[in-house]
Structure formats: structure tokens, C-alpha cells
């Protein structure tokens, strides 16, 4: 299975400065602005709260764009529904034997992990991006001159 594409900012692949600048410019055009990161009207109050929590915590990373609204909406719904199921099970532990409820929880859990990958929500994804950023900053000055 092929690895997913990574941003030019965080890739460990060696790129010349020109290649990196071209990729960054293209990525920024495709990402668009992030001035309208707002939850959709169909979300419930708890889902909106989750949406705003994710956005506020990822805002400084600069990875979100307006096109991510759809993923953020779905992720917020998923988290809210997982929490609802967990509250039901905590109130009535016998629901652990309900195969339909547990299958639903499993589907939402799998979807949640996909959203974590998409939005870099997991500690592992953030650590990977941070390590790649550090590697890029420690680049050998001689190699930079040769690449230019």
C-alpha cells in the first residue's frame, strides 16, 4: 500500500529549494483560506462545541482550510455519538452485551481514527510532523548551497 502524500513543509523527502517553494505555493493555493471555519447549522450544540474545540487547538498549526469544514463536521458528529454511546453504557453496563450498539460504537471508533489521521489529531501524527520539521531545520548549510 502506498504512503499518503505529505505536505512539502513536513516531508522527509529531499527537495531542492525551488521544488519545495513550488510545492508550497501549490499547496497553499489548493488549501485556500481558513477564514470560514465554522460548524454547519445542522450540528447540535455539543457537536458545535467539539468542532470549535478542534479548530481552536489546530489553529496555530495552520493546517486547516475552509475545505476542511466537511471533515470537521463529520469528525464532530462522530465524537459526539461515541460519547453518547459511552454515556449509555456507563449508565447501563448491560448494554455491553447489545451487539447492535457495540457494532455502532465500533463503526464510529474506526471512523474517528480515520478523522484523526486526516486532521493530525493523534499525538503520533503531531510528533511525526514535529520531527520532520526539526530535521528540515537542521539541514547542512553546505547542502543548502549545493542545492541552490
Write b or e for each residue in 21-33: b if 16 or more Cβ atoms lie within 10 A of its Cβ, otherwise e.
eeeeeeeeeebee
Question: H helices of the chain, where?
Answer: 17-31, 45-58, 69-91, 99-119, 123-137, 141-147
Domain ranges of the chain: 41-120
List the pLDDT tens digit at each of the 148 positions of the chain. 555 555 555 555 667 777 777 777 776 666 667 678 899 999 999 999 999 999 888 887 777 888 888 999 999 999 999 999 999 999 999 999 999 999 999 999 999 999 888 887 777 766 666 665 555 555 555 555 555 5
Q: In this structure, are residues 39 and 52 in contact, taking their beta carbons and an 8 Å threshold?
A: yes
What pLDDT does residue 65 have? 80
Predicted TM-score (pTM) of this structure: 0.69
What pLDDT does residue 28 have? 66
Q: What is the 3-state secondary structure (H, E, C) of 52-78?
A: HHHHHHHHHHCCCCHHHHHHHHHHHHH
Instruction: Output the CA torsion sign for 29, 8, 138, 117.
Output: positive
Q: In this structure, are residues 119 and 75 in contact, taking their beta carbons and an 8 Å threshold?
A: yes
What pLDDT does residue 61 have? 73
Amino acid at each position: 500500500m502506498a504512503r499518503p502524500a505529505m505536505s512539502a513543509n513536513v516531508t522527509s523527502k529531499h527537495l531542492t529549494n525551488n521544488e519545495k517553494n513550488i510545492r508550497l505555493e501549490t499547496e497553499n493555493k489548493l488549501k485556500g483560506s481558513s477564514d470560514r471555519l465554522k460548524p454547519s447549522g445542522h450540528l447540535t450544540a455539543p457537536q458545535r462545541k467539539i468542532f470549535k474545540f478542534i479548530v481552536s487547538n489546530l489553529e496555530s498549526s495552520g493546517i486547516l482550510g475552509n475545505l476542511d469544514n466537511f471533515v470537521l463536521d463529520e469528525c464532530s458528529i462522530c465524537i459526539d455519538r461515541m460519547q453518547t454511546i459511552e454515556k449509555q453504557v456507563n449508565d447501563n453496563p448491560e448494554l455491553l452485551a447489545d451487539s447492535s450498539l457495540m457494532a455502532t460504537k465500533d463503526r464510529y471508533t474506526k471512523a474517528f481514527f480515520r478523522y484523526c489521521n486526516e486532521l493530525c489529531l493523534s499525538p503520533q501524527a503531531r510528533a511525526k510532523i514535529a520531527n520532520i520539521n526539526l530535521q528540515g531545520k537542521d539541514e547542512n548549510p553546505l547542502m543548502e548551497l549545493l542545492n541552490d
